[in-house]
Structure 1
Amino acid sequence: MTYDRALPRAERLAMPLARDVAEEVAKEYGVCIRPVPLKRLDTHTGRWEIVDVPCGATLEAKCPPCAKRNRQLRMAQCREGWHLEAEPTITPDEPNDEQRWLVEFRADLQAQRDQTDQAGQDTTDLDELITGLDEEINAAGMRGNVLGRTCPKRNRSTRRRQDAPDLPKRKMAATTLGRTFTSSDGKVYRPSLFVTLTLPSYGKVRDGVPMDPETYDYTRAARDALHFSKLVDRFVQNLRRVAGYDVQYFAAVEPQKRLAPHLHMAIRGTLPRAEIKQIAAATYHQVWWPPANRVIFDGDRLPAWEDGTGYFDPATGEVLPTWDQALDQLDTDEAAEPLHVIRFGVQVDVQGMLAGTPDADQCIRYLSKYLTKSISDSLDPDDQAQRDHAARMTEALRFEPCSPTCPNWLRYGVQPKNPKPGMTPGQCRGKAHKPDHLGYAGRRVLVSRKWSNKTLAEHKQDRRTWVLEALGQQDEPTHPHRYVWKPVPASDENVAPLAIRLLRTVAERQRWRAHMARLQAQADGQDHSAIREEAA
């Protein structure tokens, strides 16, 4: 295609870029717009080829097609587990050769580390190697630490706070299924719940914006957002104790218009609404961290670093207490109070659901509604007041410690856990401090282990098998060691421009859709519209 270069400059600039058009076409056909090129060696044939692998982004702002596929996958996962009728059985896989070798190598390294430590020599390099190997062990498909807990657990009193009501505790039954009810006509019903939990008020708001920003409690809002995931964990613990069985759930964390995170949770089984509200009112989480309310270092006066010593006060030469020392001091102080106590607000919504009803399908769509958007995407770009509210929230989070390793602890006179040179308060790179997260850095989707009796990869394989069967193709298993994958350097001349790669994939999708259309035309009154959606 050509165009007249004699056209006025304004008209030429108004023309869309060809690459942008290719991306829009790719989105229409459900093609990843940020494919990752990888070199693949077929060990059976000895042939190398470059394969575009979908980026797998979960946010629509990065890749709408991949985000849409992830949302549909989560919807299928939610639907299959919500009203499960058979008890799920999870049997651990047998360890493979790679996992065995990693654990054996880990044992050798630990023995070397112990010998080096007994000889009074520096173990820093070995410690770093062991830490990296532990991460590799988890990445290889093993859960937990191969050596278990390597440091003593800090125990605190489990006595409930006086300002929190007590909860009943039922004897646990070895089941994950809820109760069933039989109607007078003999039909059996297995109801479940859809629960929404919110955080308390921090000040009066109108249309999601504080009416008086000066009195709005941004500090409390910031700390609640930082520790919201811990509060959800406590709620699940209390829920299971009161319910008396191993309650399973599928939950999504979403932002309210006021930018506070709140929880939507599909729960298998049912409890009285009054009990759910009682559990929410009695749930709290105490953050036992060193005090962070008095600023000690600020501005130009910051702690200095010295190798072998750590951070110290440059004015006095006094070394700052380490993270463990600060916690030890907290443990010995009988009058100590937690840094923060987080609770749910009074608004608790509980709805009963039956499998296969329109209400249940609507709740599943609602659960996945915001999974493709970041928390900051809820902001109205044309609403200056809301943008100012988000900016104030971001500023409130700037100096709040987000974790034991956060550099912000230096501001309050404590060395972070695992300190290193170059740490500066207010410059933590943790997700919680970024405007896209607004304090909440936890997982957006929370799924219990026995929800659908399948992993997300197994759900994905089910959908793939269904589509291939609809296309009349067999999903033949591939030998796990047949292919060898390698990254492609950015300078590799064999990688075609992105627009060409997108159009190639679009052409393949066009062939798929044509095949789908022929299958639908041949169907004897059967509905194949769902197949086309899967292929998209």
Structure 2
Amino acid sequence: MSASAVHDHEPLDLMSHRLRSPDYKAWRAQVHAVGGCAQPVHLTGYSRVLDRDGEILIERSGPIMGPCGNRREAVCPACSDRYAADAFHLLRAGLAGDATKNVPATVTVHPRAFVTLTAPSFGAVHSRRLSPRGFVVPCPCGEHHHADDPRPGTALDPERYDYTAAVLWQAHAGKLFDRFTTALRRALAQHLGVPVREFRDHVRLSYAKVAEYQRRGLVHFHMVVRVDGPDGPADPCPFGLDNDALRAALLHAVTTATLTVNRPDDTPLGLRFGTQVDVRPVTRSAARAVEDPDTGAITDTALAGYIAKYATKGTGATDGADRPIRDGEHIALLNVTPHHRAMIETAWELGGLDRYDELNLRRWAHMLGFRGHFLTKSRRYSTTFTSMRAERRTWRLREDLAQLGRDTRTPGDPGPLVPDLDTITVINHWEPVHFGHHNHAERELAIAIAERNREQRQQQRNIMSTTDTRSAA
């Protein structure tokens, strides 16, 4: 047998070995506990739950696995699903209201809008567009690009494409967005006829945004905007501000938000958002059926799901790397298009210049220079990821204590005696000893577990949806 044949059979041998190993059931249980995480953190140590007298109620010891928590679907599908679910509930709470997250349902009558901000052009790129009849429109290069063609979004003429400006725009996109929100507040203040410095005494602007990469390697922002009274979501919006006024203020802010930086040769470079701006009204889910976001108005529930899915995406399989680049020589080995390789190389080169030290571009070269968070929100928009994760830990602790009560009660007891959470102490002492699975076979098995969990959740949602439809009928 040739060396290549042996190499091809190695993953199957490893998988067979893992499935036949004596500790497989224990390993599988740990993988199930972390939802099928593709790169878990192996921990050693202990966790104890003590009552008010110091008696140990629950004790666990390592080794155990912890989820990696990576939001990118390409890195870990299981943790990506969890992140997307949290993002959905965070976004929907700010749109439709959720009493458990301190957002009243009355926010549905506040002015709300869904905005998409794009990047400007830095040079002509290959494109793939469809005509109203569904036919592929010829690209400026003269070809008809098929759906799997990697060229759409890449530069038609790499020599004339302004990669330096593209990377600098990307690196300053977060600061440009801040300029945009400032311009939006000024426009709304002008509409109300109040000084800008008194804007917060009359209005509070709440928003959440998600960054998504376009095929040309530049981010655009999907943004949900809500206008509240000065005290936040429970406070009615001031008289005179409606959806039309919000739309006009948004369009004005896009055209006025600018930022000037210097190129490496000290010539000024003006940065702004692209001319393609999409502003759509947001309706209540109960007001109309869920619609495709490309048809105009969109319901709050559909919008939350539409935006949340982008929070788990990176640059894509052909647009960038999933992990930071440690050595510039590795850029030539990346499985990316020449266009995106040029963006990475430009970010790496600019990162070596003293004038751009504060941008830390080499750290973010794998993200094509984008340095911002993929999901951000204003303080009063809705709840936080930290709060939702704390609620999840508290729920699990209650379940563990309830199980403890069920296990310790004697026959004839009316029910389990569950200790009050205010009277217990939780001690966690864990140390990481290994990151990721030990081989590709374990990782593939974990991903299969995660996929099965996803299918089961989808089946449950389908059953619940069918039940709700029959009930409504």
TM-score clears 0.5: yes
Partner in structure 1 of residue 303 of structure 2: 363
Larger fraction in helix? 2
Pick one of 220, 228, 239 that aligns with 1:262: 220
Q: 1:111-163, CA deviations, whole angstroms, 9 ceiling, x for partnerless residues?
A: xxxxxxxxxxxxxxxxxxxxxxxxxxxxxxxxxxxxxxxxxxxxxxxxxxxxx
AA partner of residue 459 (structure 1) = M
Q: 1:500-529, CA deviations, whole angstroms, 9 ceiling, x for partnerless residues?
A: 9999999x99xx99x99xxx9xxxxx9399
Kindly tell me: are residues 480 and 208 of structure 1, through their superposed partners in 2, closer, same or farther at Cα, counting changes over 3 Å?
farther
AA partner of residue 236 (structure 1) = T
Structure number with the bigger relative contact order (C-alpha 8 A, sep ≥ 6) is 2
- What is the rounded CA distance, in whole Å, between the counterparts of 1:47 and 1:505 in structure 2? 23
- What is the rounded CA distance, in whole Å, between the counterparts of 1:218 and 1:237 in structure 2? 28
Kindly tell me: are residues 500 and 386 of structure 1, through their superposed partners in 2, closer, same or farther at Cα, counting changes over 3 Å?
closer
- What is the rounded CA distance, in whole Å, between the counterparts of 1:265 and 1:249 in structure 2? 7
- What is the rounded CA distance, in whole Å, between the counterparts of 1:176 and 1:343 in structure 2? 36
Kindly tell me: are residues 82 and 11 of structure 1, through their superposed partners in 2, closer, same or farther at Cα, counting changes over 3 Å?
same
- What is the rounded CA distance, in whole Å, between the counterparts of 1:247 and 1:36 in structure 2? 39
1:431 aligns with 2:363: yes
CA contact (8 A) 2:119 2:220 kept: yes
- What is the rounded CA distance, in whole Å, between the counterparts of 2:62 and 2:75 in structure 1? 26
Partner in structure 2 of residue 139 of structure 1: none
1:250 aligns with 2:195: no
1:527 aligns with 2:464: yes
The alpha carbon displacement at 1:292 in A equals 2.9
Pick one of 264, 270, 285 that aligns with 1:292: 264
For structure 1, the 5+ residue unaligned runs are 1-6, 91-174, 181-189, 295-336, 402-406, 418-425, 521-525, 531-536
Kindly tell me: are residues 479 and 470 of structure 1, through their superposed partners in 2, closer, same or farther at Cα, counting changes over 3 Å?
closer
Kindly tell me: are residues 18 and 352 of structure 1, through their superposed partners in 2, closer, same or farther at Cα, counting changes over 3 Å?
farther
The alpha carbon displacement at 1:59 in A equals 1.3
Describe how 1:99-498 pairs up with structure 2 within 5 A: 180=109, 190=110, 192-206=112-126, 207-244=152-189, 245-269=203-227, 270-272=243-245, 273-287=247-261, 292-293=264-265, 339-356=268-285, 357-359=289-291, 360=299, 361-377=301-317, 379=319, 387-401=337-351, 407-409=352-354, 430-432=362-364, 434=365, 436-452=366-382, 454-462=383-391, 477=421, 481-489=425-433
CA contact (8 A) 1:208 1:386 kept: no
Kindly tell me: are residues 350 and 469 of structure 1, through their superposed partners in 2, closer, same or farther at Cα, counting changes over 3 Å?
farther
Percent identity of equivalent pairs: 26
The alpha carbon displacement at 1:353 in A equals 1.1
The alpha carbon displacement at 1:222 in A equals 1.4
Q: 1:17-62, CA deviations, whole angstroms, 9 ceiling, x for partnerless residues?
A: 3655879x96999321322122333455487433321111111222
Larger Rg: 1
The alpha carbon displacement at 1:255 in A equals 1.0
Q: 1:140-199, CA deviations, whole angstroms, 9 ceiling, x for partnerless residues?
A: xxxxxxxxxxxxxxxxxxxxxxxxxxxxxxxxxxx998794xxxxxxxxx4521100112
The DSSP-based 3-state class of the residue aligned with 1:38 is strand
- What is the rounded CA distance, in whole Å, between the counterparts of 1:468 and 1:65 in structure 2? 22
Kindly tell me: are residues 490 and 217 of structure 1, through their superposed partners in 2, closer, same or farther at Cα, counting changes over 3 Å?
closer
The alpha carbon displacement at 1:442 in A equals 1.0
Kindly tell me: are residues 471 and 430 of structure 1, through their superposed partners in 2, closer, same or farther at Cα, counting changes over 3 Å?
same
RMSD: 5.0
- What is the rounded CA distance, in whole Å, between the counterparts of 1:467 and 1:350 in structure 2? 41
Kindly tell me: are residues 248 and 176 of structure 1, through their superposed partners in 2, closer, same or farther at Cα, counting changes over 3 Å?
farther
For structure 2, the 5+ residue unaligned runs are 20-27, 51-55, 127-151, 190-202, 228-242, 292-298, 322-333, 404-417, 468-473
The DSSP-based 3-state class of the residue aligned with 1:209 is coil
Kindly tell me: are residues 358 and 460 of structure 1, through their superposed partners in 2, closer, same or farther at Cα, counting changes over 3 Å?
farther
Give aligned pairs, total: 349
1:39 aligns with 2:39: no
Q: TM-score, normalised by structure 2?
A: 0.59
